[in-house]
Structure 1
C-alpha cells in the first residue's frame, strides 16, 4: 500500500488534456514499441480524441500532477451497467511504491458501493496486468494487441442469512 497519505484525486478539466496526452506517450512507449504499435503522434491524438474530463480524475501527490485515471459508465452485455476504467497512467517518478494500488483500490471501492462491475483493456505483455489481476480482475478475451479484463461485483455474506449478496447491496 502507498505508505504516504499525500496523494489525492481531483476532477479532471479540459485544461488537463495535453499534460495527460504527454504522460500517456511516456508511459505507454515501451509496450507500444514492443508490440510494433508506437506512433509519436497517434499515441497522443488517441487520448485527445477520446478525452472526457467529466469522467477523468487527476492523481496529485503533494498537490502536483502525478497521473490520471478515467472511469466512464458503459452499457454492459445483456443491458447490464458497469464502469470502464481507462487512461490510468502514473508518472514514472511515482511508480513502484504502491500509489497505483492505492488509487485503484479507491476507485474499486466506489464501484463496489455502486454494485457495478469494472472492465478495462490492458496491452498484451504490460506489467500493469499484474496489478489488475491482484485486485480481482479476470481475463475475458484478447486480440494481438489488447487484453480485456473484468472485475465483477464482489459477493459478501449477507447478515444473518449466510446468503451472498453484491457488495454495496442492501
Structure 2
C-alpha cells in the first residue's frame, strides 16, 4: 500500500506545500492561517533525518511523517497525507507501522494537534490519550504496548 523513503533537505519545499494543503482548512477554521508563519514553523522544526516520505506503489508522494527521539520519548510530527489520499486507510496503515516501531523500542509517542482539528479523533482511535492543551494545540501521548496491551496493564 505504501513504502517509506528517507527525506532530505531538498524535500523541504514540496513537504512545505503538502503541509499547507493539509493544514490550511484547520488553520483557517481557528483564524490562524498565515503562509509565512506556516513556513517559519516548518523551517524551525523540519528534521529531515527523522522524516520519511510516504510513497505510493507507483512512486508518487502520498505524504510524509517525522518521528524521532525527544526527551526520552518519541516525537511524532509533520504527519501529512495528501488530501486526495485521505479517507482510504493510508494514514492508519502508516500510523500502525510507527506504533509497532515505538512498541518494539518500548518508548511512548508524544504529539500535538491543532485545536479543533479532526486529527485528535484519529489519534484517539489509535490509543493516544490527551495530556493537555493550550490556546492553539492539544497534546497526546501513547504508552508503549506489548502483546496488544499497554505496558502498565501487563505489569499488574
Fold-level similarity (TM above 0.5): yes
Instruction: Specify the alignment match of 1:92 in structure 2.
Output: 83
Q: State the distance in 1 between where 2:146 and 2:99 align.
A: 14
Q: Distance in 1 between matches of 2:22 and 2:32?
A: 14
Rg larger in structure: 1
TM superposition outliers: structure 1 runs of 4+ over 4 Å:
none
Measure the CA separation in 2 of the matches of 1:10 and 1:74: 22
The correspondence for 1:73, drawn from 69, 80, 105, is: 69
Contact 1:139–1:149 (8 Å) recurs in 2: yes
Cα shift at 1:23: 0.8
Match of 2:154 in 1: 164
1:118 paired residue number = 109
For the pair 1:138 / 2:129, whether they are aligned, the reply is yes
1:150 and 2:145 aligned:
no
Structure 1 residue 155: deviation in Å? 4.7
**1:121-141 deviations in whole A, cap 9, x for unaligned?**
001111111111111000100
Partner of 2:19: 24
**Alignment map for 1:30-109 (pairs within 5 Å):** 30-61=25-56, 62-75=58-71, 81-109=72-100
TM (norm. structure 2) is 0.91
Q: Which runs of 5+ in 2 are unaligned?
A: none
Rounded to whole Å, the distance in 1 between the matches of 2:106 and 2:48 is: 23
Deviation sequence 1:125-167 (CA, Å, 0-9, x none) = 111111111110001000121000000112549xxxxx825xx
Greater fraction helix = 2
